[in-house]
Structures are given as C-alpha cells and as structure tokens.
Chain A
Amino acid sequence: MTLTRRDFTAGLAVGITAPYVIGSARAQGATIKIGMCVPVTGPAAEQGLWAQNGAKLALAAVNKAGGVLGKQVELVIEDDQTTNPGIVLAFSKLAAQSDIVGFLGSIRSTQVHAMAPDVLKLGKPVMIGGTDPALTHMGNQWLFRFRPNDSYSGRVIADYGVNTLGKKKWAIVHSTDAFGTAGGKALASALEKLGTPAVLDQGYANQSQDFTPVVLAVKQSGADVLGTYFTFENDLGIFARQLRQLGVNIPWVGSPSVVAVSSTKLAGPALFGTYGVADYAEDSSEASKSFGKAYRDAYKTAPDNQSAWPYDALTILSAAINKAGSTDPVKIREAILATKKFAGAEGEYNFDQNGDGLHGYNVVRNEKGTIVYDKHIDFND
C-alpha cells in the first residue's frame, strides 16, 4: 500500500484537528451549560465557595435524576472578584459562550445592578439572590429572584416586632451601603404602615471600628425594640458587644446577618436572645431539612442562605428547562414564571410576574448560640 502525499496531508490534518473537533462537539452537544458568576476572590470569596457548594449539590441531584433534556448539566463558573466591574467582566465572558442557556448571578444587589444592562442585552434568564426590591421592578424581565426581597424582610421584621413581641417604639440601625439603605427604608415604611413609625433611623458606614455613638443614640432614643440591617459580621459583632456593654438589652430583630453563623461565632453571648429574619432556616420545612442534611453530608458544615438559594435556583432552572422542553430563553422564562407551590430549601416558591419567587421570611432566634426556628411569615401581595 502506498501512501500518497495527499493522503498523508489529509491524515495529518485530521490528526491535528480531531481532538478539537471532538472536544467542541462534546462541549456543544453532550451537556447543557449553566453559567455562574460568583466571588472566587475578594472580600466575599468564602461565601462564594458556599454558593458554589450549594449549586454543585443541586447539580449532582439534577444529573442523577437524568439531567436536563436528556443531557447532563455542566456548571461554568466565573469569578466576579466581589466587585461590580468584576461581575460585568465575568458575565460578559460567560455571555460570549453562546451555548450557555441560563445563569446564576450574584447575591449582592449592587452587582446585579451592574450586570443588569448586559443581562437585558443578552436576553437569557439570570437567577439572582440580590434582595434590593428594585431589581425585579425596573423592567428587566430576565432577572429571577430566589430570595425574598428586602420589602418582605422589612415587613416581616416590623410584623414580628409589633404583632408578636408587641413593641411599638422602634430604633433602626442600618449600614449605608446598598443593602443596608434599602433594608432600612423597607423597615421604616413597613413600620409606618403599621402605625408605629421609628423613633430613630441611624445609618453607619461599613468597617467602622467603634459603634459607641450609634449605641448611645439608640439608648437615648428610648426605643423598646431594635431593628437592624448590618452588612458585615465584624461590624455587627462590635456593635452587639458595645450595645450590651452600654446596657442596652431591648429585644432585637435584625436582617439575616444577625443570625449568620459567623456573627454568632464572633459576637458570642452578645447576640443571645436576638431574632433574625432568615430566608433559609433548616427547621422551617421538610424541603429545608432535606437540603440541610444533604449539605451537611457533603461538606460537613452547616448550610445557610448563601448555599441555599443557588441550590434552589439551579433546581428550579433545570426543572423549568425540562418543562419548557427547549433552551429557548422565552420559553424558559415562561416556565420559571409558571412555577407555583414549589417546595425549595428557602421556602415555597410562587413566582409572580416580576420574577420574585418568595414572598416571606422565617423568623429565627439565637438560643444561647444555637439558631432555632421560630415562625414563618408569608405575604400574599
């Protein structure tokens, strides 16, 4: 058998390109890709890791159950560096891969704001955890929220304090960042609706080394209940300690950071007896319990909202694609919005037309260092 030069060249060409062809065929055909922007670096790198854990847990479950549209699901992770420019770059990198059918965005509202124009341009569904109410009310139909937004956390805090604890004189302390400001506003307006406007509304800047002036302002206001929106756990820890040292022992109902694992560890006894709203509470439902068990089995640590929402998001997105029967963005969107009474780790999902899946919070209590479930408050509007 003689080998002509032509054969040889052709063979060579095939030999060189074959791995690429096969590789790209596998990339395009064999899996359904879902992109995820998450902090791998920067201040929230650790929370980013938890989020990845949650998403991967859901991924394993989905793939075990047969995947999506008969294919395995693949998660493509990009680092958002915990910054706004970072997430814009990360998202644009993912958006450039045309075979990615849906995305998991950020838990940080400012980051979602930053990427929102690009999301609108791309026109594919993006699951988010940012809780600024405006995100789903600014005409961007591609954002779907998997945590209750801050208007609900404010309402739950106010409702629990006024109706359950029976307290009427409120002091609000909130961070002046996006999360704290939006939350503080939501709580203030919820209190006004209940006819008990706050007697103090005090902002503070993140990474303050001392909270004495804030604590004294709370003390002087004569408030009998405290509502807080803290962003960073070490700020919360310093505040909690100084609050107790200066003799303020009024009931305290706060945003999720009050009952976060790391705050409990940092502040110790200073946070005993406080109440926090939590979108994820392990004992709040059967679905929450089973997620908690799976998470503990896989990672040997306690789950929290950072890992719960990506778990739900990936689960619901996969289910929606299956229901839509295609990867067409419009159809996926309709399928997500049609999701009702879905028992997720975060709660029962009933999507509204804005893209908000959850409409209430759990209230949990710090019982000498352990977080125990207290009650769930849901709203219908």
Chain B
Amino acid sequence: MDLALQLLFTGIGIGAVYALVALGFVLIFRATNVVNFAQGEFSMVAAYLMVVFAVDLGWPYWLSFLLALAGMALLGAIFNLGVYYPLRHRTFLPVIIATIGASILLANSVLAIYGPQPQVLEGWFDTPGIQLGPVYLDSQYLLIIAVTIVLVIFNYWFFEHTMLGKKLQATSQDKEMASLLGISVSTMIMITFIYSAVLGGLAGILVAPVLFVSIQMGSTIALKAFAATIIGGFGDVAGAIIGGLALGIIETFGAAYISVPYKDGFAFLVLVAFLIFRPQGIFGERVAEKA
C-alpha cells in the first residue's frame, strides 16, 4: 500500500509534466488543425535559457524565469512566421513534416551552442521534499502539480470569460465565421503559437530540476504528451490533462508491477488500444461531417 501511494504520487507528478506539454499541443491543434512535433523542443529550449540566465549569468531566479518565458514567446512567434504561416494553405502533411524539421533544427542548434553535456538547474525550493508518512513528496513535483491545477483553472477562465479567449475559441472552431465577425485569424493563430510556446517552456523549466537539462529532454516528454493528447481526445483541454495524468500513472505502475525496461512501451500500447477501440479519445474529438 505504501508502495502504491508512492508510485501514485510519482505517476501524478510525471503525468502533470505530460499534461502541461499536451496542453500546448491541444491549443495549437485547435487553432490550426496541425500537430506541432516541435512542442517538446520548446520545453528543452526554455530549460536551456534558464541555465544561461540563472546558472551561467547568475541572475536572480525569478528574473531568469521571466526572461526565459519572454524568450519562449519570441520563439513561438518566430516559429509561427517561419514554419506554420507560410504553409497554412497546404494540407496537414507538409506542416507536420516542417515541424519535424523544426524540432531537429532546435535540438541540434542547442547542441551546437551548448554541447552534449547535461546541465544542472536547481529547483525553486531549498528543501528537496517532504516526508508525509510513508510517502516522500518531491517538492518540485508538488510544484508541477500545483502549476498544472492553476493552469487548468486559468485556461478555463481565459477561454470562457475573456474576450481574447472567446475570440481564440471562435477562431479554432470556424475560421471563416471568425473572420466574418471581424476577428483577425492570423493574429489569433499568432497568439496561440506564442501561448503554447510559453506553456511548453514553463513545463520545461519546471521539470528541469528533476530530469536535468539535456538535449533529449524535450523529445521524450513530447512523445508521451502527444499520446496523452490522443488518449484525451484531440482538441480537448480537459482531455489532455486527464490523458497526461493517466499516462503518467499507467507508466509508473506498469514499470513497478510488469516490466521496467518496457516502461516506454506501455504509453504506446495504451495509445494503440485507444486508437483501435476508442479513437475519439476519452472526451471525443468534435468531428464535423463535411462533404
């Protein structure tokens, strides 16, 4: 039982990381109908920015944090202008491939600049964790879980109760209608990319103290987050969160009770099972019938 509780905590913690990255996937997918395969690299780049500001330059943590997120906003904008926007009238296939290209570009640019050696980024807290009865709660995981909860609430408020959020919603549902209503679709897509890049970056900065900062950190998380997105039902924010948490928990328990080496396989097996038996995901993708 103690064992299960400990696993549950870890599963939720790692699942929350997947959920954060998955959220970025969902937002871009809803706005543009494409999957951004470079979403994981956003996390990686943000973590390296933190290392540059907080470790190499020795600036205060909060300042480095804000600067890193600002850097991510800039990256999101450049990404949109350089990768998505020129291809917006083409089918999803070229866009997917271009984002794969972008992911290779980002990962290796960082490698070229920073070298392959993993880096250390300290967490927000001085205490590494709390012992709560039989369960050890890692403080960074606690923070990640808390941020995820806050973001879920923020997203709900933002999309349902602010004008900008509603405009973004309208754009993602029907671009033609949105532009007829006087919403600038390209501005909305730009905002979406910036927001997802910041979200992805946030995930990267939060997870860096746990996983260390390495070139590969983004791609491994992104693949799982992507699986979480599908399990949750493409385009559904709540689905992405629940999908991410579910995946984290399944993976951790699968590793503990079935096989550690095949840990990464569980995520994909669950995913394939979902695609075969419930392709619309937990919450179901809203598929419009069109002829």
Contact = CB atoms under 8 A, between A and B. Distances in A.
Contact of A245 (B3, B136, B216): B136
Contacts of B10: 210, 212
A245 B129 contact: yes
Instruction: Give the size category of B's interface with A.
Output: 20 to 34
Interface string B1-40: 0010011001000100100000000000000000000000
Contacts of A237: 118, 212
B19 to A, nearest CB: 14
Interface in A224-247: 233-234, 237-238, 241, 245-247
Contact of B261 (A204, A209, A212, A220): A204
B118 A266 contact: yes
Interface in B191-249: 210-212, 214, 216, 220-221
A262 B14 contact: no
A234 to B, nearest CB: 4
Interface string B116-146: 1110100000001100000010100000000
Nearest to A220: B3
B94 interface: no
A283 B255 CA distance: 41
A234 B118 contact: yes
B14 A216 contact: no
B82 interface: no
A210 B138 CA distance: 12
Contacts of B263: 204-205, 208, 213
A220 B115 CA distance: 39
Contacts of A209: 14, 17, 210-211, 220-221
A45 interface: yes
A209 B3 CA distance: 19
A217 interface: yes
A265 B120 contact: yes
Interface in B169-211: 210-211
Contacts of A268: 120
B261 A266 contact: no
Nearest to A175: B261
A245 B261 contact: no
Best-buried of B6, B14, B115, B255 by chain A (most CB within 10 Å): B255
| Most central of A207, A209, A237 by chain B CB within 10 Å | A209
B252 A202 contact: no
Contacts, number: 79
B214 A234 contact: yes
Nearest to B129: A245
A212 B212 contact: no
B260 A234 contact: no
Contacts of A214: 255, 260
B256 interface: yes
Contact of A213 (B7, B120, B128): B7
Contacts of A285: none
B288 to A, nearest CB: 37
B7 A266 contact: no
Given A209-B14, A210-B14, A210-B252, A238 B211 contact: yes
B264 interface: yes
A265 B262 CA distance: 29
A202 B264 CA distance: 16
Contacts of B260: 202-205, 208, 213-214, 217
A176 interface: yes
A203 B262 CA distance: 10
A207 B116 CA distance: 14
A118 interface: no
B132 to A, nearest CB: 12
A44 B118 CA distance: 12
A41 to B, nearest CB: 9
B3 A176 contact: no
A86 to B, nearest CB: 15
A46 B117 contact: yes
A43 interface: yes
A335 to B, nearest CB: 37
Contacts of B221: 209
A175 to B, nearest CB: 9
Given A46-B117, A234-B212, A262-B118, A216 B264 contact: no
Contact of A238 (B7, B210, B261): B210
A204 B255 CA distance: 9
B2 to A, nearest CB: 9
Given A44-B116, A46-B116, A220-B3, A212 B211 contact: no
Contacts of A262: 117-118
A216 B118 contact: no
Nearest to B118: A234
Contacts of B210: 209, 238
A43 B129 contact: no
Nearest to B248: A210
A84 B138 CA distance: 39
B130 to A, nearest CB: 10
Given A213-B252, A266-B118, A205 B6 contact: no
B256 A216 contact: yes
Contact of A207 (B14, B117, B136, B220): B220
Given A44-B116, A176-B261, A207 B6 contact: no
A216 B220 contact: no
B197 to A, nearest CB: 22
22 contacts: A45-B116, A46-B117, A176-B261, A207-B220, A208-B260, A209-B210, A210-B14, A212-B6, A213-B263, A214-B255, A216-B6, A216-B256, A233-B118, A234-B118, A237-B118, A238-B211, A245-B128, A245-B136, A247-B136, A262-B118, A266-B118, A266-B120
Interface of A: 43-46, 176, 202-205, 207-210, 212-214, 216-217, 220, 233-234, 237-238, 241, 245-247, 262, 265-266, 268
Can you list the 5 inter-chain pairs with the closest CB atoms, starting with the nearest? A213-B256, A213-B255, A212-B10, A234-B118, A176-B261
